[in-house]
């Protein structure tokens, strides 16, 4: 399965005075989606970190189509796009409970050795899962 989805309810604290989700709050929604995509594939981000590997974002593009609002039930869809040497890419979208497309995003992350801060190849078990 190259795609995974989660649902998130918009909290009041994530909105502005017009009850619209503040643009910076979409990044954590997408992060939850990526972490759960990995978990669903058997890859624990916590275990990666404990083994000395981080997965920071090096590039992201977000396109806002329609606003999400307070108390909306959002579906965050995360799709694995590709993995090459030290990089992994995801395409994501957020839809509301009417299945309207609200936001799209593209993320490029790099596997990094936590101690040195240098890019590294992902562990073999991660590669095996990504290449299924």
* Average of per-residue pLDDT across 62-86: 96
Catalytic residues: 16
pLDDT of residue 131: 84
Distance of alpha carbon 58 from alpha carbon 74, whole angstroms: 25
Please, which pLDDT band fits residue 132 given cuts at 50, 70 and 90? Answer: confident
Q: Where are the domains of the chain?
A: 3-130
What fold is seen in the domain 3-130? Answer: Thiol Ester Dehydrase; Chain A (3.10.129)
Please, which pLDDT band fits residue 1 given cuts at 50, 70 and 90? Answer: low
pTM of the model: 0.92
Neighbours of 106 (CB within 10 A): 16
pLDDT averaged over the chain? 95
């Amino acid at each position: 399965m190259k795609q995974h989805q989660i649902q998130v309810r918009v909290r009041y604290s994530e909105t502005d005075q017009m009850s619209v989700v503040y643009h910076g709050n979409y990044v954590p929604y997408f992060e939850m989606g990526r972490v759960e995509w990995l978990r669903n594939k058997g890859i624990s981000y916590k275990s990666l970190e404990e083994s000395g590997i981080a997965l920071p974002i090096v590039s992201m593009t977000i396109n806002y189509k329609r606003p999400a609002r307070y108390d909306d039930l959002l579906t965050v869809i995360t799709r694995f796009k590709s993995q090459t040497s030290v990089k992994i890419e995801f395409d994501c979208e957020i839809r509301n409970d009417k299945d309207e497309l609200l936001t799209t995003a593209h993320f490029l992350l790099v596997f990094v050795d936590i101690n040195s801060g240098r890019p590294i190849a992902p562990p073999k078990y991660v590669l095996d899962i990504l290449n299924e």
